[in-house]
Chain A
Amino acid sequence: MSVFWAICRQHMVLAWRGGHTTLAVAFLFIGVTLMPFGLGPELALLQALAPGLLWVVLIMALLTSLDRLFQADYEDGSLDQMMLMPLPLELVVLGKLLGHYMALVLPLLLAVPLAGLLLNLAPAHLPMLLLAMLAGSPALVLLGGIGASLAVSVRRGGLLTVLLSLPFYVPVMIFGAGASQQALAGEIDETRLAILALLSLASLLAAPVAIAAALRNAVR
């Protein structure tokens, strides 16, 4: 189990030191800053659109980070080494995904309240919005991992990763943004939250198996 945590920690540290965390958070703020210029500065309009916009920007920030999940390890041969470890590849994958989640998604979620402030969200709206993002974001990382692993052997596979991940993100986006929209009405949308959690749990079961299969296939 210590190997699992070591892999998780290594991925986290590399993402942090490589500046990927900063880049993702910067991307979030750049996206949010551009919105008022595109939509007009009217505060009521910005508030009405804020939950959906934040989900879009969150997903975009995450999509740009996906090709860093396995690509470097594939190119420098670390992936071959990881396959020789006593730890099953599925758990290695899970460790890396957890590291990716902690290094990228958690900072993004911490930045969301501030970004929401820029879009005129009131503090009362935030708990529900963050709850929806917490419930849905594991699925985003896990499903994005599938796209990243399928495209891993393709040089500059960033665009391919995004194309492959997009159809998987549609359901998470629908229920996530839907639940967050209810935050504006001050309601807790238990049904959508439950579906989001279900999507995350289902991808927790399925994604590591699919990713490990794709990686084995790429390395062979």
Chain B
Amino acid sequence: MLKALENISAFYANPTRFMKLAARLHAPLWILASALLAYGLFRAWHVPEDYQQGETVKIMFVHVPAAWMALFGYSFIFFASVTALIFRHPLGHVAARAAAPVGAAFTLIALVTGSLWGQPMWGTWWVWDARLTSMLVLLFVYLGYIAIWQAIEEPTRAARTAALLAIVGFINVPIVKFSVDWWNTLHQPASVSRLARPALHADFLYPLLIMGAAFLALFLALTLTRMQMEILRQKLRVRRMSAN
């Protein structure tokens, strides 16, 4: 099993082979993402109104999957960076770089929808709630990672520095989560308490899971497209340099 995985990974270390595979995957992945998204949004639109939250409960179907993808995205960057830095797989850096703005966008979506949901529910746009705060810190981690790629001009140095940051930052994220949880239990005023959340009814659960799958497909489609762009950009760079 492991051997097979090793062989596959070695096979696609060649960018040209990867580009062939990516070209074949590109359209199906986008079709899958669009179909899931359309179906998920349709299902989410037709859920019964929540007896406490009314229509606003529908925000959940965007908010929660976006938050999942924010965490998934950073884990993706971490594993891609480990593959690049330790196993020296050339696609690792490309994958990590491609995923970063996508993950950051999902983090921003989770924060904005959370804020829009918080306004009618908690009566304020922003609460220093433990989850919101750790998501905000995660956004800063994403921005720092993207900034490294932007700031360092020399590509291999930028790649290795970014990978190093991704790995150190990945260790930091659970520590932030732990400390923010701790902090919040002391500071949170009793008036702004989280609504007691009943176990999700199937009417809500299935649309949520479909939206989760849709966002995952969307994440992968966007990342794949950005990886293709990145490889083309690298090729262009080499051509330009050899033309001069």
Contacts and interface: CB of A to CB of B under 8 A. Distances in A.
B134 to A, nearest CB: 9
B105 interface: no
Nearest to A156: B151
Given A167-B140, A171-B179, A220-B157, A160 B148 contact: yes
Given A163-B144, A170-B176, A150 B165 contact: yes
Contacts of B119: none
Contacts, number: 68
B169 interface: yes
A65 B20 CA distance: 49
* Interface SS majority for chain A: helix
A153 B143 contact: no
Interface residues of A, number: 25
B161 A150 contact: yes
Interface in A130-165: 146, 150-151, 153-154, 157, 160, 163-164
Given A171-B175, A213-B164, A163 B180 contact: no
B160 interface: yes
B42 interface: no
Select the residue from A167, A168, A206, A213 with max chain B CB neighbours within 10 A.
A167
B141 interface: yes
A31 interface: no
Contacts of A174: 179-180, 182-183
A146 to B, nearest CB: 6
B168 interface: yes
B176 A171 contact: yes
B161 A170 contact: no
B70 to A, nearest CB: 14
Interface of B: 137, 140-141, 143-144, 147-148, 151-152, 154, 157, 160-161, 164-165, 168-169, 171-172, 175-176, 178-180, 182-183, 186
B208 to A, nearest CB: 29
Interface string A72-106: 00000000000000000000000000000000000
Select the residue from A154, A174, A214 with max chain B CB neighbours within 10 A.
A174
Contacts of A167: 137, 140-141, 144, 169, 172, 176
Interface string A195-220: 00001000000100010011001101
A160 B164 contact: no
Nearest to A210: B168
Nearest to A157: B151
Contacts of B157: 153, 217-218, 220
Contacts of A175: 179, 182
Contacts of A220: 157
